[in-house]
Amino acid sequence: MKNFSFVNVENKADALEVLHREKEKSCLVAGATNVMPFIRYEKINDKTLINIRNLQELRFIREEEDKIEIGPLTTIYDLENSEIIEKYAPALREAAQDFADPTTRNSATIGGNIANASPAADTATPLLALNAVVVAESKSGVRKIPIQEFFLGVNKTALQCDELITVIEVPKNAANSNSCFIKLGLRNAMAISVVSVAAGVELAEGKVAHANVALGSVAPTPVRAKTVEAALVGKEFTPGLVEETAKLVTEDISPIDDVRASGEYRKTVAAVLVKRALKKSGKI
Amino acid sequence: MTKHEIEITVNGRKRRLTVKPNDLLLNVIREDLVLTGTKYGCGIGECAACTVLMEGKPVLACMILAVAAHGKNITTIEGLADGDKLVPVQQAFIDHGAIQCGFCTPGMVLTSHALLNENPDPSEEEIRDYLRGNYCRCTGYTAIVKAVQSCAKKNQ
């Protein structure tokens, strides 16, 4: 293991202060389930680990009038067991249920899962389909980053080095309340997804009013299936339509060959998972 | 690397330790505290042989820096029984022969114990789902699941 130093912080103000001081050397760590393998593989060197695991003020799930607010320190276990998440963001709950295993879910946090920006992050795909907003704070102020602009590449996000995620907002709407998540992994437990899909559909008089579809592990970042979405909106929601539009997902993704699956396989299976997720969300 | 003073409560006993920032909680438990019931398996959070209870919840000791465990309450397999009095799931593992090589057993027992605390009446499916990260390479899963099932309320 290479060299790093460790600072423990107990509240948000201290965290922002240390981030401001350490700047590029900062490496926030909460559940540590991503950071520990990085330490082991010596990807972390000459960094200051800032332990925010005990920042209880950022561990919450709240219901507001038009949105729900999730604190970044919320564990995957909390997501799995929240009635608010179950009601307004079921895709996120299903992702939590598929996440690693219960021991990891007790440590891993939603903030860490997205800040690490793995294309396979289990909560990233649903948050993208749910049109979430990431609220980031630094000593110089607060800004809101739409999730579509948050992921820039593998392990790269729009966060500045002195910024801390303070809230993840999810709008309350019918498409989000109908949302669902499907993950294909090589085994049930501890699996990194081969492909994951989250979808939320809102119907009005049998026609598609809104369709949100996102995929993970098929590009350098989680992606929205814009071609699929465009082909759905305004049409009558039938199995035939879903069957046809799901195939268009290959336009939206650029999967690579890796140890888990080939790009070709991912393309084939992505279309199948999109079809299943749309049917599940639209209840047909 | 600067060393840190930490205080952790392990199996009810307060321990003051000096650790390096990169010391794993797992290694501190095994080497400094000589509690070798907690096993070092994969070291990358895939096998759950290193499961301990932190504030009553099962976590992986290979995924936690010792320095980040400061102030926490930890139970290892050595601290589960009250003297010679085993907790029900420990006795059930013995009664059902749910142990072969024994390497996964501490993690299996602690995770099962946490499950039963959280959900005293789990179904077979719930047991399999909760234990899904705990590897047993002898594949004694059937006996393990039966042992946990025997502790469910409805089977008492």
Is A106 within 8 Å of B67 when comparing Cβ atoms?
no
Residues counted in chain A: 284
Q: For the domain made up of A174-281, give the CATH fold.
A: Enolase-like; domain 1 (3.30.390)
Whether residue B12 sits in one domain with residue B72: yes
Tell me how many domains chain B contains: 2
At B155, is the pLDDT very low, low, confident or very high (cuts 50, 70, 90)? confident
Whether residue B151 sits in one domain with residue B93: yes
Average pLDDT, chain B: 96
Whether residue B71 sits in one domain with residue B19: yes
pLDDT attached to residue A22: 96
Q: Beta strand A164-171 with A180-184: parallel, antiparallel or unpaired?
A: unpaired
pLDDT along chain A (284 residues), means of 10: 85 97 95 90 88 96 98 98 98 96 96 96 98 98 98 97 98 98 87 94 96 97 98 97 97 93 95 98 95
Whether residue B106 sits in one domain with residue B72: no
Whether residue B148 sits in one domain with residue B95: yes
pLDDT attached to residue A2: 66
Whether residue B115 sits in one domain with residue B94: yes
User: Is-contact B46 B134, C-beta < 8 A?
Assistant: no
A4 contacts in chain B (CB < 8 Å): 1, 21-22
Whether residue B92 sits in one domain with residue B55: no
Is B68 within 8 Å of A77 when comparing Cβ atoms?
no
Cβ atoms within 10 Å of B13's Cβ, excluding its own: 9
- Please identify, among B54, B79, B104, the residue that sits at the C-terminal boundary of a domain: B79
Equal fold, A56-171 vs A174-281:
no
Taking only residues 43 to 62 of chain A, the set having a beta carbon closer than 8 angstroms to any beta carbon of chain B reads: 49, 51, 53-54
Place of tokens 């910024």: A163
Is A106 within 8 Å of B59 when comparing Cβ atoms?
yes
Which residues are within 8 A (CB) of B86 and not within 5 positions of it... i.e. 6 or more apart?
B80, B94
Global confidence as pTM: 0.94
Whether residue B15 sits in one domain with residue B65: yes
pLDDT attached to residue A44: 82
Domain boundaries, chain A: 4-51, 56-171, 174-281
pLDDT digits (tens, 9 = 90+) for B67-93: 999 999 999 999 999 999 999 999 999
Probe site for chain B from A47, A56, A78, A103 (most B CB atoms < 10 A)? A103
Half-sphere exposure of A78 (CA within 13 A, CB side): 17
Cβ atoms within 10 Å of A224's Cβ, excluding its own: 18
C-alpha A266: how far from its chain's center? 19
Report the SS3 class of residue A268: helix
Whether pLDDT at B108 is above 80? yes
Whether residue B45 sits in one domain with residue B19: yes
At B2, is the pLDDT very low, low, confident or very high (cuts 50, 70, 90)? confident
Query: Would you list which residues of chain B are within 8 Å, Cβ to Cβ, of chain A?
Result: 1-2, 4, 21-22, 24, 43-46, 48, 51, 54, 57-60, 62-65, 67-68, 70-71, 111, 114-115, 130, 132-134
Please indicate if any CB of chain B lies within 8 Å of the CB of A8.
yes
What's the CATH number of domain A56-171, 3.30.465.10, 3.40.605.10, 3.30.565.10, 3.30.200.20? 3.30.465.10
User: Is-contact A215 A274, C-beta < 8 A?
Assistant: yes
Compare all CA atoms of chain B with the CA of A44 and give the residue at the minimum distance. Answer: B22
Is A190 within 8 Å of B64 when comparing Cβ atoms?
no
Residues counted in chain B: 156
Whether residue B111 sits in one domain with residue B48: no
A49 contacts in chain B (CB < 8 Å): 21, 65
In CATH, what number is assigned to the domain containing residue B131? Answer: 1.10.150.120
pLDDT attached to residue A3: 79
- Give the minimum alpha-carbon distance from A53 to chain B in angstroms, rounded to a whole number: 8
- In words, the CATH class of domain A4-51 is alpha beta
- Give the minimum alpha-carbon distance from B72 to chain A in angstroms, rounded to a whole number: 10
Whether residue B9 sits in one domain with residue B27: yes
Whether pLDDT at B129 is above 70? yes
Write the CA distances from A8 to A12, A15, A73, A137, B80, integer angstroms. Answer: 12, 9, 15, 19, 29
Q: Which domain holds residue B46?
A: 4-79
Write the CA distances from B20 to A3, A9, A73, B9, B72, integer angstroms. Answer: 10, 18, 25, 18, 17
Which residues are within 8 A (CB) of B140 and not within 5 positions of it... i.e. 6 or more apart?
B98, B99, B100
A8 contacts in chain B (CB < 8 Å): 67-68, 70
Is A103 within 8 Å of B67 when comparing Cβ atoms?
no
Is B65 within 8 Å of A190 when comparing Cβ atoms?
no
Whether residue B71 sits in one domain with residue B94: no
Please indicate if any CB of chain B lies within 8 Å of the CB of A37.
yes
Q: Beta strand A4-8 with A47-51: parallel, antiparallel or unpaired?
A: parallel
